A and B are shown apart, each in its own frame.
Chain A
């Protein structure tokens, strides 16, 4: 193994050298997947040493890190030298590509891929970047994932923080892409404060957009007119906050459906509150009829449930629900 000495010529290729951590430049933009140093890793290096050398390249008389930041930081912490392989990689892009391929095995989420691809996106022409996505990422990301990633990359970078924080799912990009920059700004507060599931986030954005399309008013106006922005400042749990926002928007997006659902629910409560039977109707009300469901543990409970059902029928307590369907759905 060759040791670093500033007066000696530098080794290239697969030759191993040992470097002082101080001699390696680590403040580099292509280390996009760098992780925080943790005690477990330091202990491991202290016990086992650096089992896999870091990758560096030479620039002037300095060494520049290509891959292995956490190992360099651990060595610095432990005051030991860093085993390194010196390779000749010129230019930011190729160094970033080398970093990508040296670390790709530990990348599992599309969010991590966003970090990586934003680096290239900001430095490559659009068509070159698209070519890069297909050539470099194929095989590492499933086709569907790549499709979602490409959609996300069309969004402004300031949304990446919400993605990293887990407040928005990457799949939301397909709903967000129809919004203008101003509209994106208008919906940003909903995601800044709380974390949304994929389905709920899509409903929020899609409904806002569709109400805006139908009503031909600005999304900013709509957010104010519906009052959904105020809900964010109410003292509610994230779940209740989301529920309230979506309930308000549903009444705007599907006024007739929501009204009918509320009417049925009110009637159903009258009947259901006195019974162990859960009463519901078909979602979207395409057909007449009601569902009656109950849960029993044994034959005694099933006998009781059947008796209760018989009472419901004999007392005509289900009639209002069926009559309501005849009257309101026709």
Chain B
């Protein structure tokens, strides 16, 4: 095993690859970078027969679905309109609150290795409407950079996107990997992004991730290189001492960054399908935040009782505004009522959230 790799990658014990993608550049690269890990070729038409919860498998798959998707929002809450570039499923990091655990059918880490199909689909879409701007990202169904040391996926994607100035790519992560920077042709078309949280939550609930200081140092380095960054507080969790905790991380952010360095900043309260609560209870018995006052929201997901969410959002938003953040702030999947209560306006006042964030992303 390559001991230069992050620990969560050293835990990979099996690589399974679909026969039709075994010789793709990505598959060859993974094999080279995980030299001691057994390699199993899955004949075309056969299903992966492993334990569905086995996190020691990396499955390089010939993906047959759509690569470019809308974010799976619901009509009851305001979605940011982010467009997903789908490069794989699940995440090798280990955060107790991870919504992916209850979102996908299984917990196996998958990477779509038929990149030519991906380039084909993206190329068709982006070149067909060169005047249309796309705010897209890879961090919805996986961490954008967690597998980068073995896949170089983001490097490949950035090299491909250099021919499409109408696309802005957000790379959302909780790890530090800036190796992709060398492939960037326009720093104004890439938004490195980090998900942050209160120090206690990061320490107790996020395993295998980079520490908050390192995430912020990496963000500062990106600023130095000419990028703007995105930050996300998602999920915001209510726990004893949350005010101090979120105050701490907000103060830390502005030790490293200036408000103008931040393209946009999302706030999202912890939420998820009811199965997620069961998963957390079973796998993370010390994670007691799930026993807070979560109710069933209009979209069927568990979410914190509205006045409690509003109280948290208001406290956090006020503190961020004191540091100079303004219309970079937005809520991930919240109602107009919550927007108005906390920020005093709602997405329609901004011309629609999707349009607003597009302007923020492209600095229009």
Is B305's CB under 8 angstroms from A285's CB?
Answer: yes
Which of B101-109, B206-214, B245-253, B294-302 touches A?
A: B294-302
Query: Taking the complex as formed, is A284 at the interface, i.e. its CB lies under 8 A from any CB of chain B?
Result: yes
The answer to whether A257 and B281 touch (CB under 8 A), given A213-B288, A287-B337, A330-B310, is no
Is B297's CB under 8 angstroms from A284's CB?
Answer: yes
Query: Taking the complex as formed, is B100 at the interface, i.e. its CB lies under 8 A from any CB of chain A?
Result: no
Bound complex: CA of A117 vs CA of B291, how far in Å? 35
Is B291's CB under 8 angstroms from A210's CB?
Answer: yes
Query: Taking the complex as formed, is B307 at the interface, i.e. its CB lies under 8 A from any CB of chain A?
Result: yes
Is A286's CB under 8 angstroms from B297's CB?
Answer: yes
Bound complex: CA of A227 vs CA of B305, how far in Å? 26
Report which of A210, A214, A257 forms a contact with B305, defined as CB distance below 8 A: A257
Is B337's CB under 8 angstroms from A257's CB?
Answer: no
Query: Taking the complex as formed, is B355 at the interface, i.e. its CB lies under 8 A from any CB of chain A?
Result: no
Q: Which residues of B contact A (CB under 8 A)?
A: 76, 281, 288, 291-293, 295-298, 305-308, 310, 335, 337, 341
List 23 interface pairs A-B (beta carbons < 8 Å), by A numbering: A178-B281, A210-B291, A214-B291, A216-B288, A254-B293, A255-B293, A256-B293, A256-B305, A256-B307, A256-B308, A284-B297, A285-B305, A286-B76, A286-B298, A287-B298, A287-B337, A288-B337, A328-B307, A329-B306, A329-B310, A329-B337, A330-B310, A330-B341
Is A286's CB under 8 angstroms from B306's CB?
Answer: yes
The answer to whether A330 and B337 touch (CB under 8 A), given A254-B293, A284-B295, is yes
Is A214's CB under 8 angstroms from B292's CB?
Answer: yes
Bound complex: CA of A288 vs CA of B306, how far in Å? 11
Q: Which residues of A contact B (CB under 8 A)?
A: 178, 210-211, 213-214, 216, 254-257, 260, 284-288, 328-330
Q: Is the interface of A mostly helix, strand, loop or mixed?
A: helix
Bound complex: CA of A255 vs CA of B291, how far in Å? 12
Bound complex: CA of A285 vs CA of B305, how far in Å? 8
Neighbouring B residues of A178 by C-beta, 8 Å: 281
Is B307's CB under 8 angstroms from A286's CB?
Answer: no
Bound complex: CA of A284 vs CA of B296, how far in Å? 7
Besides A213-B288, A284-B297, 12 other CB < 8 A contacts? A210-B291, A254-B295, A256-B307, A256-B308, A257-B293, A257-B305, A284-B306, A285-B305, A287-B335, A329-B307, A329-B310, A330-B310
CB distance from A223 to the nearest CB of B (A): 17
Bound complex: CA of A254 vs CA of B302, how far in Å? 14
Neighbouring B residues of A256 by C-beta, 8 Å: 293, 305, 307-308
Neighbouring A residues of B288 by C-beta, 8 Å: 213-214, 216
CB distance from B239 to the nearest CB of A (A): 10
Neighbouring A residues of B291 by C-beta, 8 Å: 210-211, 213-214
6 smallest A-B Cβ distances: which pairs?
A214-B291, A330-B341, A284-B295, A210-B291, A213-B291, A254-B293
Neighbouring B residues of A330 by C-beta, 8 Å: 307, 310, 337, 341
Chain B: CB-nearest residue to A259: B307
Is A284's CB under 8 angstroms from B307's CB?
Answer: no
In the complex, which of the residues B281, B308, B310, B337 has the most CB atoms of chain A within 10 Å of its own CB atom? Answer: B337
Neighbouring A residues of B341 by C-beta, 8 Å: 330
Bound complex: CA of A256 vs CA of B309, how far in Å? 12
Neighbouring A residues of B76 by C-beta, 8 Å: 286
Is A254's CB under 8 angstroms from B305's CB?
Answer: yes
Neighbouring A residues of B281 by C-beta, 8 Å: 178
Chain A: CB-nearest residue to B282: A178
CB distance from A81 to the nearest CB of B (A): 58
Chain B: CB-nearest residue to A214: B291
Chain A: CB-nearest residue to B310: A330
CB distance from B339 to the nearest CB of A (A): 11
Report which of B295, B297, B298, B335 forms a contact with A257, defined as CB distance below 8 A: B295
Bound complex: CA of A315 vs CA of B293, how far in Å? 36
Neighbouring A residues of B310 by C-beta, 8 Å: 329-330
Bound complex: CA of A257 vs CA of B306, how far in Å? 9
CB distance from B237 to the nearest CB of A (A): 13
Bound complex: CA of A287 vs CA of B337, how far in Å? 7
Bound complex: CA of A256 vs CA of B341, how far in Å? 18
Bound complex: CA of A287 vs CA of B292, how far in Å? 20
Neighbouring B residues of A260 by C-beta, 8 Å: 307
CB distance from A82 to the nearest CB of B (A): 53
Chain B: CB-nearest residue to A258: B293
Bound complex: CA of A216 vs CA of B308, how far in Å? 22
Neighbouring A residues of B296 by C-beta, 8 Å: 284
Bound complex: CA of A164 vs CA of B310, how far in Å? 47
Is A286's CB under 8 angstroms from B335's CB?
Answer: yes
CB distance from A105 to the nearest CB of B (A): 36
Bound complex: CA of A176 vs CA of B83, how far in Å? 43
Chain A: CB-nearest residue to B341: A330
CB distance from B154 to the nearest CB of A (A): 37
Neighbouring A residues of B307 by C-beta, 8 Å: 256, 260, 285, 328-330
Chain B: CB-nearest residue to A328: B307
Neighbouring B residues of A286 by C-beta, 8 Å: 76, 295, 297-298, 306, 335
CB distance from A218 to the nearest CB of B (A): 15
CB distance from A132 to the nearest CB of B (A): 23
Chain B: CB-nearest residue to A207: B291
Neighbouring B residues of A257 by C-beta, 8 Å: 293, 295, 305
Bound complex: CA of A255 vs CA of B295, how far in Å? 12
CB distance from B314 to the nearest CB of A (A): 9
Neighbouring A residues of B306 by C-beta, 8 Å: 284-286, 329
Neighbouring A residues of B292 by C-beta, 8 Å: 214
Chain B: CB-nearest residue to A330: B341
CB distance from A282 to the nearest CB of B (A): 8
Bound complex: CA of A255 vs CA of B306, how far in Å? 13
CB distance from A324 to the nearest CB of B (A): 12
Chain A: CB-nearest residue to B303: A286
Bound complex: CA of A279 vs CA of B294, how far in Å? 24
CB distance from A321 to the nearest CB of B (A): 16
CB distance from B299 to the nearest CB of A (A): 9
CB distance from A326 to the nearest CB of B (A): 9
